[in-house]
């Protein structure tokens, strides 16, 4: 009897191990640290959506010293989350990234200014000190300044650019008149620092006509020649979309799942729940996360108009996006 039980257990364990071994492994590199900005992926893993799709997914958090294009070019990930300006800039420089899905429909980027500076309109930015994120995040800002006709080299008649860390200190300490913020993150850090909404003037990139696509999914172009890879990515995108849909309907629970995956322990429940609610407003609601070519063309047009001594891109990219994955039959 004992022998039979042990044999049955061994067989069950063997089947389980075999099933796990047959799961397709996928590694995704995030653009930033573990937070609700990426809740859809953590939810998909926690709720078993990836497992149901036959996937064994590893989620790699990002950080200030991690550039997704470099990670995937070096073979450290199968798919990365990146902003389109950064991805297209990398593509023009020789890293052939291709957008395979676009879970985020709207941009969350803003410029947040202290009202006491007297800034009321974009024209008032002339001669001001503005905090700007770099490492690929500066491209939408440069395009906006080009549209306004404001130089960013510190010369007279332009703006002075302060290389902003990933915090809101320059605004609080009055080192800058305005700083870069996201609707779901840094803006609320300013509020938590003691500012009231009426003490701030906010310019959303969406409202200024310079919004570019954020948080898309990108793979290396040559990988799309492999039918097996396309099928694997199709399963990954579909399962991830289930995660995003669940997150949109259950933002508080999604925030809790993110916190459970935050190895740093730096995130707070209040902030992550607030972030999840704001992220939900930016998501594509079509159910597929399929890139709209018109959104791609708008992003490219904005980037091409940036001009300056160091343009984001110098020509319209060809082959920079594909519907092969979202349209694939599984």
| Domain 24-106+213-304, CATH among 3.10.580.10, 3.30.1490.20, 3.40.50.300, 3.40.190.10 | 3.40.190.10
Say if 24-106+213-304 and 109-204 have the same CATH topology: yes
176-223 residue pLDDT tens = 999 999 999 999 999 999 999 999 999 999 999 999 999 999 999 999
CATH architecture of 109-204: 3-Layer(aba) Sandwich (3.40)
Q: What does the pLDDT read at residue 153?
A: 87
Residue numbers in the chain where pLDDT is lower than 70: 1-21, 136, 307-310
Q: Where in the chain are the domains?
A: 24-106+213-304, 109-204
Give the CA-trace dihedral at 221, 224, 230, 236, to 10 degrees: 0
- Confidence at residue 230, expressed as pLDDT on a 0 to 100 scale: 98
Going by the DSSP 8-state scheme, the letter that residue 182 receives in this structure is E
Check residue 6 and give its pLDDT. Answer: 44
Whole-model pTM? 0.89
d(CA 91, CA 21): 34
Distance, CA of 123 to CA of 16 (rounded, Å): 63
């Amino acid at each position: 009897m004992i022998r039979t039980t042990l044999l049955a257990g061994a067989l069950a364990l063997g089947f389980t191990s075999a099933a796990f071994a047959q799961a397709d492994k996928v590694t995704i590199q995030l653009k930033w640290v573990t937070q609700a900005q990426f809740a859809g992926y953590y939810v998909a893993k926690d709720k078993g959506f990836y497992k149901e799709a036959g996937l064994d997914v590893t989620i790699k958090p990002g950080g200030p010293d991690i550039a997704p294009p470099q990670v995937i070019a070096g073979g450290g990930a199968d798919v990365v989350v990146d902003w389109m300006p950064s991805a297209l800039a990398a593509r023009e420089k020789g890293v052939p990234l291709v957008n395979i899905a676009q879970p985020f429909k709207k941009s969350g980027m803003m410029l947040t200014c202290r009202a006491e500076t007297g800034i009321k309109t974009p024209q008032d930015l002339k001669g001001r000190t503005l905090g700007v994120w770099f490492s690929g995040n500066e491209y939408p800002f440069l395009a906006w300044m080009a549209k306004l006709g404001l130089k960013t080299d510190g010369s007279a008649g332009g703006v002075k650019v302060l290389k902003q860390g990933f915090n809101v200190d320059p605004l609080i300490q009055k080192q800058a008149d305005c700083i870069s913020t996201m609707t779901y993150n840094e803006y609320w850090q300013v509020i938590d620092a003691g500012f009231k909404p009426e003490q701030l003037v906010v310019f959303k990139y969406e409202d200024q006509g310079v919004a570019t696509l954020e948080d898309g999914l990108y793979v290396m172009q040559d990988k799309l020649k492999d039918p097996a890879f396309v099928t694997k990515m199709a399963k990954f995108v579909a399962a991830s979309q289930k995660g995003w849909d669940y997150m949109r309907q259950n933002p508080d629970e999604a925030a809790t799942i993110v916190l459970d995956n935050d190895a740093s322990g730096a995130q707070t429940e209040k902030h992550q729940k607030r972030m999840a609610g704001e992220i939900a407003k930016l998501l594509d609601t079509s159910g597929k996360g399929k890139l709209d070519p018109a959104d791609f063309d708008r992003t490219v047009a904005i980037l091409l108009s940036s001009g300056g001594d160091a343009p984001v891109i110098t020509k319209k990219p060809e082959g920079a996006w594909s519907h092969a994955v979202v349209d694939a039959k599984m």
